[in-house]
Structure 1
Amino acid sequence: MPESGTATLGATETLLYHAYELTHAAVRPLRMQSDALRYACRSAFSPVAYTPVGKAVAAACEVFENVTRRYGKPEWGIDAVDIDGEAVAVEPRLVYGKLFCDLLHFKRDKPAVAGRKDPKVLIVAPLSGHYATLLRGTVKAMIPEHEVFVTDWRDARFMPLAYGRFDLDDFIDYVIDFIRFIGPDTHVIAVCQPSVPVLAAAAVMAEQRDPLQPASMTLIGGPIDTRRNPTAVNELAASRPLSWFEHTVISPVPFPCPGAMRRVYPGFVQLTGFMTMNMERHLDAHADLFRHLIEGDCDSVDQHQRFYEEYLSVMDLTAEFYLQTIDTVFQKHALPNGTMYHRGKPVDCRAIRNTALMTIEGELDDICGLGQTEAAHDLCPNIPAADHHHYVQEGVGHYGVFNGRRWRDEIQPRLKKMIRATGRRRRASSRLSGRLSGRLSGTA
């Protein structure tokens, strides 16, 4: 019986991605017919376009196109930001490329920021199914007063097998490499999933007494200790053996994709899981879209389109990274238990002394429950008390803690204040150390 069950799971694993691709292929003729019908019902030369029936049919075709389209990687769409009341041009530039991730720098127009010494900030985007552009609002709010760098993770679907593995240890190495590349006094912000590897990276650098340890790290809605106030996502991850995830949701990328035969956790599986948790809300949103299209409410339609173009754009994760994350973070709780290893060496957060720590949580977060991110403070007892910061934003869920009005108006200003206060303390400490060193050398 066990062998038969394993064989069945293996077959499911192999067919998962292929079934998805076949479904897209099967729907393509229907999409073409729907597009033709939508055009006929919307054309200014068609009398049907001015009737209630024509408007309803066109709206239905538009909704069908939205839910069956394959969404690619979105554009950042950040061409300018407001700095001191002036629109300043911004250009995302690739400054450091690695096999599975690019480091982008949002370069601001030089004359507008000449002479300014804004803090350097590395925003580590989550590698959990969505593209880094999900953090567009996070990035845009930080650019006016910071030199912003962002990790732009690549879709495993397009990574050839020749590129090798990419797992949680590699993620930590990438974070360390990027911090070292940006240089001294870098402030790191981890949004959701990267909170664990970023904290581990800071611990590894502290253990090595790296002179380029980050000045501060901010963990936003991250699963540091999922035993605290567990959510439905946490309970699912803990309720199944690792073998279940390996055989049920891992699938090889089909031909002719560049990453063909690479075992991945497909982005569409992740998306299906998230949408199932709030299916009624998504159904209501598309029903509203249908109504707004009939009414000609362009603003509401545009708002819906912008959100879902980002939300439905997903990427694949390498199987080894996904499974190691499930095992380390959600099942063994290795970091809070003190049993996490990186490259065979223990990760000890007590080694962190010179990096300020800020944790941010959302009151209504149904992905990372309250207290899960705050647990990082207990793991870092040797950080000075003045460098411990925690904030809970009322009235927001997981997405609202790093995007939207509350993020811009209430969360980001607190984060900015912490970064600058940390910078001032470090500079004052450096000057004091310099004076003491000078006196001691003079005495000698």
Structure 2
Amino acid sequence: MLYNIHELQTAYLNGASAVASIWAEALSNPRNPFGYIGLGPVAASALEVFAHATAPRGKPSFGIEQVSVDGVAHPVTESIVYTRPFGSLIRFRHSGLPDRAPKLLIVAPMSGHYATLLRGTVERMLERAEVYITDWADARIVPLSEGRFDLDDYIDYVVDFLEFIGPGTHMMAVCQPSVPALAATAIMGEDKNPCRPASLTMMGGPIDTRASPTTVNTLATERPLAWFRNNVIATVPMQYAGAGRKVYPGFMQLASFMSMNLGNHLMSHYEMFKHLVIGDGESANATKNFYDEYRSVCDMTAEFYLQTVEHVFQKHSLPKGELLHRGRKVDLGKITDTAILAVEGERDDISGLGQTKAAIDLSVNLPEAKKKYHMAPKVGHYGIFNGSRWRNQIAPIVEDWMHANAQRTLKAVA
């Protein structure tokens, strides 16, 4: 019933959004004299904010048409190079890349948003690397006949993607996938898999959430797992290809994140309203573009979501050495030659300080020369992988780390 009620509400709001958009356009039409006097501009701006907030949203596109390297613009080629039921691999290249440009796999979060949330991450790393990114599928469009997708499957997909790209690939995990990416690295290290990553960069990842717990961590631990199973899991309705699949709906994930910073979100929309009233379309569009991406959400399978809550946030299975993959213990001590870079933001309110850094301490058999930690001052969670500080301060550190560890790792796997 939960999903069906949401669909009914969405259908109503979509209609209301269309009506509000029509009236906003009519009031702001240059030929309408009432748009210049009295409450005309105010009403038009209010209607436009409402129309944008309630408009239907689908899967965004990356839309990276070109990148500029050393002042020279290069056209970008985007292509899907590998497809599996629950996720595809997208490759980005440009003509200015050298023949031996490093290959980077960015593991996007499966946490309610699409991989396009990392558009800025891809765009910046694409300047000097051939970039691949995991494009996880919306669980509501994956037929039940394709089976389940849990934490074990996630780790298998990461390994499979690395094997597809080939030896010497670097890997970057942003937020939630830090745990399965680190586990996959350990498994591949134990197996002496020649495609194990040359380096692994983890950014704002919940490796050990016992360090500096945040509101997100507290929400996941203050209730038993059964509460999450009974209260946030829904069944996909019949109109979708994944009808009957149990999922954690994207709209619930979005509502959860919005509620944690409701005041900030309300203020952002109020500021957008004020920009529209005075005709500052550029500032208003910046806010619109952010929320176009932020409100574009997808569902994740119930089994993956519940296992993540259980093993990452409640049991802390990986840092305690108790995480199993297909019945086999994940031993971080088997990471011996994959260079690890942990990046944290000083103001991160989702993954607290020390949670990602824990990966460095847990990799007990990795030489110190292959370990690096960077704490970005005055940076919040999203600033780690998007924005000016990411582009100008953090990305160069990642690039230098990849370069410093490329040749040595290639020799080690040869």
The TM-score by the shorter chain falls in which range? over 0.9
Letter in 1 for 2:193: D
| 1:80 equivalent in structure 2 | 66
Mapped contact 1:125–1:151 kept (Cα < 8 A): yes
2:400 is equivalent to residue 420 of structure 1: no
Call closer, same or farther: CA 1:52–1:322 in 2, change over 3 Å. same
Letter in 2 for 1:120: K
| 2:112 equivalent in structure 1 | 129
Shift of 1:211: 1.6
Shift of 1:274: 0.6
Match of 1:403, SS state, is: coil
| 2:257 equivalent in structure 1 | 274
Letter in 2 for 1:383: L
Separation in 1, partners of 2:376, 2:150: 32
Separation in 2, partners of 1:288, 1:365: 23
Letter in 1 for 2:280: D
Mapped contact 2:155–2:184 kept (Cα < 8 A): yes
Name which of structure 1's ranges 188-197 and 25-34 shifts more when overlaid on structure 2: 25-34
Letter in 1 for 2:8: L
Please show how residues 246-285 of structure 1 align to structure 2 within 5 Å: 246-285=229-268
Mapped contact 2:198–2:405 kept (Cα < 8 A): yes
| 1:228 equivalent in structure 2 | 211
Call closer, same or farther: CA 1:32–1:311 in 2, change over 3 Å. closer
C-alpha deviations, 1:158-206, integer Å up to 9, x for none? 1111111011100000000010111010100000000000000011111
2:202 is equivalent to residue 216 of structure 1: no
Out of 34, 40, 65, the residue aligned to residue 54 of structure 1 is 40
Separation in 1, partners of 2:191, 2:16: 59
Shift of 1:32: 3.5
Q: Which residues of structure 2 form unaligned runs of 5+?
A: none
| 2:79 equivalent in structure 1 | 93
Q: How many residues align?
A: 414
Call closer, same or farther: CA 1:240–1:106 in 2, change over 3 Å. same
Out of 155, 158, 169, the residue aligned to residue 141 of structure 2 is 158
Separation in 1, partners of 2:199, 2:18: 52
Separation in 1, partners of 2:165, 2:180: 18
Match of 1:144, SS state, is: coil
Mapped contact 2:337–2:409 kept (Cα < 8 A): no
Mapped contact 2:14–2:56 kept (Cα < 8 A): no
| RMSD over equivalenced CA pairs, Å | 1.4
Identity, in percent, stands at 50
Shift of 1:260: 1.4
C-alpha deviations, 1:76-108, integer Å up to 9, x for none? 010100123211010210111111101011021
Shift of 1:239: 1.0
Separation in 2, partners of 1:133, 1:354: 31
Separation in 1, partners of 2:344, 2:376: 6
Shift of 1:34: 1.7
Please show how residues 36-435 of structure 1 align to structure 2 within 5 Å: 36-109=22-95, 112-113=96-97, 115-426=98-409
Q: Which residues of structure 1 form unaligned runs of 5+?
A: 1-14, 435-444
Mapped contact 1:352–1:382 kept (Cα < 8 A): yes
C-alpha deviations, 1:259-283, integer Å up to 9, x for none? 1111110111111111111111111
TM-score normalised by length of structure 2: 0.97
Mapped contact 1:213–1:354 kept (Cα < 8 A): no
Mapped contact 2:338–2:409 kept (Cα < 8 A): no
Mapped contact 1:71–1:309 kept (Cα < 8 A): yes
Letter in 1 for 2:2: L
Letter in 2 for 1:107: R
Mapped contact 2:384–2:394 kept (Cα < 8 A): yes
Match of 2:290, SS state, is: helix
Separation in 1, partners of 2:164, 2:26: 55
Name which of structure 1's ranges 190-199 and 31-40 shifts more when overlaid on structure 2: 31-40
Match of 1:337, SS state, is: coil
Shift of 1:36: 2.9
C-alpha deviations, 1:370-391, integer Å up to 9, x for none? 0000000121111111000000
Mapped contact 2:3–2:235 kept (Cα < 8 A): yes
Mapped contact 1:105–1:149 kept (Cα < 8 A): yes
Separation in 1, partners of 2:32, 2:364: 71
C-alpha deviations, 1:229-250, integer Å up to 9, x for none? 1011101101111110011000
Match of 2:318, SS state, is: helix
Which structure has greater helix proportion? 1
Match of 2:319, SS state, is: helix
Call closer, same or farther: CA 1:425–1:28 in 2, change over 3 Å. closer
Shift of 1:70: 2.1
Separation in 2, partners of 1:200, 1:384: 18
Shift of 1:59: 0.6
| 2:2 equivalent in structure 1 | 16
Larger radius of gyration: 1
Separation in 2, partners of 1:53, 1:161: 53
Letter in 2 for 1:70: P
Name which of structure 1's ranges 156-165 and 242-251 shifts more when overlaid on structure 2: 156-165
TM-score normalised by length of structure 1: 0.91
Mapped contact 2:18–2:51 kept (Cα < 8 A): no
Match of 2:134, SS state, is: strand
Separation in 1, partners of 2:18, 2:320: 54
Letter in 2 for 1:381: V
Letter in 2 for 1:24: T
Separation in 2, partners of 1:174, 1:255: 28
Shift of 1:149: 0.6
Shift of 1:45: 2.3
Letter in 2 for 1:283: L
Separation in 2, partners of 1:222, 1:286: 29
